[in-house]
Amino acid sequence: MPAKPRFFDTHAHINYPQFADRIDEVLVQCQEHGISRVIAIATDLESSHQIIGMAQEHEQILAVPGWHPCDALNAPGDIRNELRELSQKPGVVALGETGLDFYRMPSQSEEGATEATDAEYVRRQRALFQQHLEVAAETGLNLVIHQRSAFDETVEMLLPFADQVRGVFHCFVGTPAQQQKLQQIGSIVSFTGIVTFKNAGEVRDTVKATPLDQLMLETDCPYLAPVPYRGKTCQPFHVWHVAQTIAEVKGVTLDELSEATCATARQFFRGLD
């Protein structure tokens, strides 16, 4: 029986409680489905140290330390020194997840939060993103970028660093025009299990319009489990189902998709083999 084409899960939160005490099982499932690398993504300094430890213990895991924009109000005022130190650790291949998220402001979801809280939230997000950009430029690492309801603002902050830093806009659900704009500044996109959802026709349109060498695959696990696992905890091996749908949409074989997306990932993430 021929081996399955190899793929990478380029965005996984495998330090989350859903995977506690079963990392070995998770990695065996990946091997069985041809997923040879899992890139673990941090959301704060604590999780950054967690995923770096996992990367040092498991060859299949690589690490992306950073601080998520939605946790900006809990971040120290300046984490640049910490990012510099983390960037030098074995197994670190990029920085993130960083960026801007203006989808739900504190005043919409937190008791006692005001417009002033919202303004501080935005300011702290911008400051954090700027720090990630500066350290990425210093260290030669690229950025895993999260943006929601802030595409133009995120690109505006990235632009001054575009000749030094590439970004991957993860869990991309934007338009073909937005993808082209990112491509023009040297950044790429990655797609999740959303591409398998019945109501995600517009995302599949963007997949179809995106050049084969300008995209990567991810799960964003434990979120966004693809069909046929919707409603269940997303697992890193589910990237196989993302690959199947994208290959169908692009009109390519799984082998062709494997070759293209793995090559793109190797170019983007430092030290990925």
The one-digit pLDDT tens for each residue of the chain (273 residues) are 456 789 999 999 999 999 999 999 999 999 999 999 999 999 999 999 999 999 999 999 999 999 999 999 999 999 999 999 999 999 999 999 999 999 988 888 888 888 899 999 999 999 999 999 999 999 999 999 999 999 999 999 999 999 999 999 999 999 999 999 999 999 999 999 999 999 999 999 999 999 999 999 999 999 999 999 999 999 999 999 999 999 999 999 999 999 999 999 999 999 998
All residues at 6 or more sequence positions from 56 whose CB lies less than 8 Å from its CB, including other chains: 89, 90, 91
Per-residue pLDDT, 110: 81
For the chain, the maximum distance between any two Cα atoms, rounded to a whole number of angstroms, is: 62
Distance between CA atoms of residues 46 and 255, nearest Å: 38
Identify any residues that bridge with 99 across adjacent strands, giving them in sequence order.
Answer: 146
All residues at 6 or more sequence positions from 243 whose CB lies less than 8 Å from its CB, including other chains: 5, 7, 217, 254, 257, 258, 261
Tokens encoding 217: 């695959």
Per-residue pLDDT, 107: 86
Sketch out the chain's domains with CATH numbers: 7-268 (3.20.20.140)
Could you check whether the bond before residue 259 is cis, i.e. omega within 30 degrees of 0?
Answer: no
Say if CB 33 and CB 244 are below 8 A apart: no
Per-residue pLDDT, 108: 87
The pTM of this model reads: 0.96
Instruction: Name the one residue in this structure whose structure tokens are 């040092």.
Output: 56
DSSP one-letter string for 180-231 = HHHHHTT-EEEE-GGGGSTT-HHHHHHHHHS-GGGEEE---BTS-PPTTSTT
Per-residue pLDDT, 3: 65
Distance between CA atoms of residues 260 and 265, nearest Å: 9
> CA distances (Å), 244 to each of 29, 131, 190, in order?
17, 37, 15
Per-residue pLDDT, 1: 45
